[in-house]
């Protein structure tokens, strides 16, 4: 037994339970932000501690069902960073909701634990339980604004649709178990590598693809995304858009790069079709959005399409491009959602038209929006450019020139709609006259994410090396 393989999960779990217990003992702890400060401090120490965990060799907990390799550790650190940002964004945002604030911070820890379990699971039951732990917690966090009907609607939609997608995923997993008699990834891939293809296996692959596709918002399993993103509290939307999606991707990587590796000829045509659909629908529907959070939801769907180019490339460099892109996607999205949070705090709205004249009210906020949206659009010198560059070149390198060309064309469409938002922000007159109040915690989140977005763009070396090392050890 190797406790260090689960040390981060245990830390996250204990902090979550501690937050609940403290809230039960001290009522003021629940109604004030103390829990949030505790959460942020705990998460930062977890992040520092995780740097000392051995990353070079794969560690297993009890057996090979639960592994901590460099891929898992990378994703866990990514989740912790997201959780720090989300908690920091929530501090001021939660002010109208004085009750149960402590529970909110506790729930973010449980969502984090679920994601971490997904990152480390090398066996289907553990993976599924981690996925459900994450989903359940996100349903609760989504419905956190109980007075707001949209929040309740979003929670209900998320619950029902994820129940259906879980059903499909479980059916697929049961078929895999029926065909192989195994549940852990390495045993299944051993059976698969000598076995033949049966029609039922195709079904299993389709079902697993749709179950995991739901979590990463792959078209046509994306229908929940805009509604849930719109209804959820804005920091939770950021958590969903970055954390939940990255957790879906780590499961996706493990299952499709490892378990289904002998069957690339079966799932690849399917995956390519869905990627094309995702790119088309994500980018084209984003054009028509008037609501900032729905707009970012469709933009995040489009980004799934770009990231999937790395899966389609199906190579070491493709995997490293995915990991690199997830890093910069994190900072760009956190920047954008922190901007939306600031907008909601000050104006109470989050329509794109509310951005008009922002340049005069708050130049700082405008610059943050500018940097984040330019990075999402993939314009140099921001990190988005380099990330897209790596993904597209690797796709071309593996012979998918047409797909890369399509993605490039659609990302030009994306540039157009991001620039439309930026134009609204820079021109126009605002009804607001007084300057925006941006709390210190939010300001810090914005500065760090913007600095990282520019920093990765100018000096990508260390980050690409990190991604490449992880991809190398995974292969």
State the residues that interact with other proteins by CB under 8 A: 6, 9, 13, 20, 61-63, 65-66, 99-100, 103, 106-107, 110, 113-114, 117, 120-121, 123, 125-126, 128-130, 132-133, 136-137, 139-140, 143-144, 146-147, 178-182, 198-203
In whole angstroms, give the CA distance from residue 388 to residue 317: 13
Which of 353, 376, 368 lies closest to 438 in space, CA to CA? 368
Q: Which ranges constitute the DSSP H helices of 427-460?
A: 440-458
Helix (H, G, I), strand (E, B) or coil at 387: helix
CA 290 to chain centre: 23
In whole angstroms, give the CA distance from residue 239 to residue 226: 14
The least CB distance from residue 390 to other proteins, in Å, is 34
In whole angstroms, give the CA distance from residue 194 to residue 184: 16
Measured from the CB atom, the residue of 132 and 432 that comes closer to other proteins is 132
Measured from the CB atom, the residue of 107 and 236 that comes closer to other proteins is 107
For residue 381, cis peptide bond before it (omega within 30 degrees of 0): yes
The least CB distance from residue 178 to other proteins, in Å, is 6
The least CB distance from residue 201 to other proteins, in Å, is 8
Measured from the CB atom, the residue of 100 and 393 that comes closer to other proteins is 100
Q: How many beta carbons lie within 10 A of that of residue 430, not counting itself?
A: 15
The least CB distance from residue 19 to other proteins, in Å, is 11
Measured from the CB atom, the residue of 67 and 406 that comes closer to other proteins is 67
Measured from the CB atom, the residue of 198 and 472 that comes closer to other proteins is 198
Helix (H, G, I), strand (E, B) or coil at 260: coil
The least CB distance from residue 182 to other proteins, in Å, is 8
Measured from the CB atom, the residue of 181 and 435 that comes closer to other proteins is 181
What kind and span of H or E run contains 136? helix 124-142
Residue 444 makes CB contacts below 8 A (sequence gap 6+) with: 88
Measured from the CB atom, the residue of 63 and 353 that comes closer to other proteins is 63
Measured from the CB atom, the residue of 10 and 458 that comes closer to other proteins is 10
Measured from the CB atom, the residue of 22 and 202 that comes closer to other proteins is 202
Measured from the CB atom, the residue of 90 and 143 that comes closer to other proteins is 143
In whole angstroms, give the CA distance from residue 83 to residue 144: 17
The least CB distance from residue 98 to other proteins, in Å, is 10
Which of 202, 255, 220, 228 lies closest to 145 in space, CA to CA? 228
Return the sign of the alpha-carbon dihedral for residues 311, 176, 245, 48: negative
> Where do we find the tokens 């490339």?
313
Which of 8, 27, 13 lies closest to 102 in space, CA to CA? 27
Measured from the CB atom, the residue of 6 and 255 that comes closer to other proteins is 6
Measured from the CB atom, the residue of 138 and 474 that comes closer to other proteins is 138
What kind and span of H or E run contains 31? helix 27-31
Dig out the tokens for 431 from the structure. Answer: 């009804």
Helix (H, G, I), strand (E, B) or coil at 115: helix
Helix (H, G, I), strand (E, B) or coil at 22: helix
The least CB distance from residue 263 to other proteins, in Å, is 15
Q: What share of the chain is helix, strand, coil (3-state, %, to 5)?
A: 80, 5, 15
The least CB distance from residue 268 to other proteins, in Å, is 20
In whole angstroms, give the CA distance from residue 461 to residue 358: 35
In whole angstroms, give the CA distance from residue 76 to residue 63: 20
The least CB distance from residue 235 to other proteins, in Å, is 17
Strand partners, 68: 59
The least CB distance from residue 39 to other proteins, in Å, is 16
The least CB distance from residue 276 to other proteins, in Å, is 24
The least CB distance from residue 140 to other proteins, in Å, is 4
Which of 363, 355, 235, 345 lies closest to 291 in space, CA to CA? 355
> Where do we find the tokens 């076995």?
195
């Amino acid at each position: 037994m190797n406790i260090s393989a689960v040390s981060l999960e245990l830390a996250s779990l204990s902090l979550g339970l501690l937050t609940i217990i403290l809230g039960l003992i001290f009522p003021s702890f629940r109604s004030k932000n103390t829990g949030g400060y505790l959460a942020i401090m705990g998460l930062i120490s977890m992040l520092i501690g995780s740097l000392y965990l051995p990353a070079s060799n794969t560690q297993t907990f009890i057996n090979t069902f639960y592994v901590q390799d460099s891929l898992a550790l990378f994703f866990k650190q990514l989740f912790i960073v997201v959780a720090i940002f989300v908690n920091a964004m929530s501090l001021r945002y939660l002010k109208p909701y004085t009750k149960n604030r402590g529970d909110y911070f506790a729930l973010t820890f449980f969502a984090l634990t679920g994601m971490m379990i997904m990152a480390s699971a090398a066996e289907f039951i553990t993976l599924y339980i981690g996925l459900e732990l994450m989903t359940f917690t996100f349903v609760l966090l989504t419905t956190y604004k109980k007075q707001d009907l949209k929040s309740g609607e979003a929670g209900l939609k998320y619950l029902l649709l994820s129940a259906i997608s879980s059903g499909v995923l479980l059916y697929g997993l049961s078929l895999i178990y029926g065909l192989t008699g195994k549940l852990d990834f390495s045993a299944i891939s051993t059976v698969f590598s000598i076995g033949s293809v049966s029609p039922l296996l195709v079904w299993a692959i389709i079902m697993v693809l749709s179950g995991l596709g739901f979590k990463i918002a792959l078209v046509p399993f994306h229908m929940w995304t805009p509604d849930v993103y719109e209804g959820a509290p804005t920091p939770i939307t950021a958590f969903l858009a970055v954390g939940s999606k990255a957790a879906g991707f780590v499961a996706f990587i493990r299952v499709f790069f490892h378990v289904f590796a002998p069957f690339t000829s079966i799932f690849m045509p399917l995956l390519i079709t869905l990627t094309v659909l995702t790119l088309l629908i994500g980018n084209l529907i984003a054009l028509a959005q008037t609501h900032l959070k729905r707009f970012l939801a469709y933009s995040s769907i489009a980004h799934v399409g770009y990231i999937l180019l790395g899966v389609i490339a199906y190579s070491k460099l493709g995997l490293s491009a995915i990991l690199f892109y997830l890093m910069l996607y994190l900072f760009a999205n956190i920047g954008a959602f922190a901007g939306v949070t600031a907008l909601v705090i000050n104006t109470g709205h989050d329509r794109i038209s509310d951005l008009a004249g922002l340049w005069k009210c708050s130049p700082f906020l405008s610059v943050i929006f500018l940097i984040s949206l330019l990075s999402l659009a993939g314009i140099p010198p921001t990190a988005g450019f380099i990330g897209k560059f790596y993904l597209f070149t690797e796709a071309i390198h593996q012979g998918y020139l047409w797909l890369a060309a399509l993605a490039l064309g659609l990302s030009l469409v994306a540039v157009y709609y991001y620039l439309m938002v930026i134009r609204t922000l820079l021109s126009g007159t605002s009804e607001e006259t007084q300057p925006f109040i941006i709390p210190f915690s939010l300001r810090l989140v914005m500065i760090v994410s913007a600095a990282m977005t520019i920093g990765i763009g100018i000096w990508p070396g260390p980050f690409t090396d990190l991604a490449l090392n992880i991809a190398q050890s995974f292969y």
